[in-house]
């Protein structure tokens, strides 16, 4: 599943292609919105909220309505922008949404969530999220409060819970635990300085949001950009100890840790 910075970049691409443009054609290829038509509407903006995308559209056949298209990439989804007449790079059968503004079209493929709702109902779909690490609402004190609310919860689970901090995925979870020296299976309560951890998470996403590939080591060479994520059969880049791999939480999300750099506490 894409990390929050990748979703942020997707929002930037959609905004560049669509903001301020009039929709000449829309196609919602999901059963619940198959008959929806927002042609004639104006795309106001696309913003990210954690791992969620909100495309705000004013007007359409009902000129007084303000809509929000809520989409989520989940594991396989993507948004791609094409020039008029350009051939799609994925099969049409995988398309879930088409937003055509004439010279360009934005196509959402294999989207995990597609919801079209009145603007005033945005909180129904993203109101549960914690402070957005890349959003204007970022509040480090609130993020700390939410993260530490259950001291007995495994740290790795708490960091992935979007109700605590919106935008962290398995890569950032792994690297954040490594850089702060905590085993992701340890309880949140053992973290001596949760504010430092939250600030580091914020800084990591900010530094990577413009990059095509996440880098936490400062070395962008292939195989050197991450300390331990994806190194389940290799050695820790810092100390050389074999990296261990496991699964955490009800969703069994993959986790990595170095038993030397991240001793259980």
Write out the two tokens for 24.
Answer: 């000449």
- The catalytic position among 13, 29, 66, 253 is 253
Can 51 be counted among the known catalytic residues?
A: yes
Largest CA distance in the chain: 63
- The catalytic position among 3, 9, 96, 194 is 3
Quick one: three-class SS letters along 83-142? ECCCCCCCCHHHEEEEEECCCEEEEEECCCEEEEEEHHHCHHHHCCCCCECCCCCCCHHH
Separation of alpha carbons 22 and 41, rounded Å: 6
Report strand pairing: 95-100 vs 113-118: unpaired
Write out the two tokens for 105.
Answer: 């079209």
Write out the two tokens for 25.
Answer: 């054609």
- The catalytic position among 49, 51, 96, 153 is 51
Separation of alpha carbons 93 and 126, rounded Å: 28
φ, ψ of residue 157 in degrees (nearest 5): -70, -45
Dihedral of alpha carbons 115, 117, 122, 123, sign? negative
- The catalytic position among 2, 131, 154, 184 is 2
Q: Point out the residues that are catalytic.
A: 2-3, 51, 253
């Amino acid at each position: 599943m894409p990390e929050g910075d990748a979703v942020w970049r997707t929002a930037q691409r959609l905004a560049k292609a669509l903001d301020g443009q009039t929709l000449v054609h829309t196609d919602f290829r999901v059963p619940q919105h198959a008959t929806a038509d927002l042609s004639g509407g104006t795309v106001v903006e696309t913003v990210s909220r954690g791992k969620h995308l909100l495309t705000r559209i004013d007007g359409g056949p009902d000129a007084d309505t303000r809509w929000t298209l809520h989409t989520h990439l989940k594991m396989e989804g993507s948004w791609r922008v094409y020039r008029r007449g350009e051939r799609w790079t994925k099969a049409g059968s995988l398309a879930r949404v088409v937003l055509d503004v004439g010279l360009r079209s934005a196509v959402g493929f294999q989207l995990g969530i597609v919801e079209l709702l009145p603007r005033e109902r945005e909180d129904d779909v993203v109101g549960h999220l914690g402070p957005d690490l890349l959003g204007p609402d970022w509040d480090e004190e609130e993020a700390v409060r939410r993260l530490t609310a259950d001291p007995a919860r495994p740290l790795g689970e708490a960091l992935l819970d979007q109700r605590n901090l919106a935008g962290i995925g398995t890569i950032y979870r792994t690297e954040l635990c490594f850089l702060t020296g905590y085993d992701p299976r340890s309880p949140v309560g053992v973290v001596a300085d949760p504010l430092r951890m939250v600030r580091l998470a914020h800084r990591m996403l900010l530094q990577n949001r413009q990059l095509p590939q996440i880098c936490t080591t400062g070395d962008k060479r292939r195989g050197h950009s991450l300390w331990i994520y994806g190194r389940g059969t290799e050695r820790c880049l810092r100390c050389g100890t074999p990296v261990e791999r496991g699964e955490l939480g009800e969703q069994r999300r993959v986790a990595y840790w170095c038993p030397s750099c991240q001793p259980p506490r």
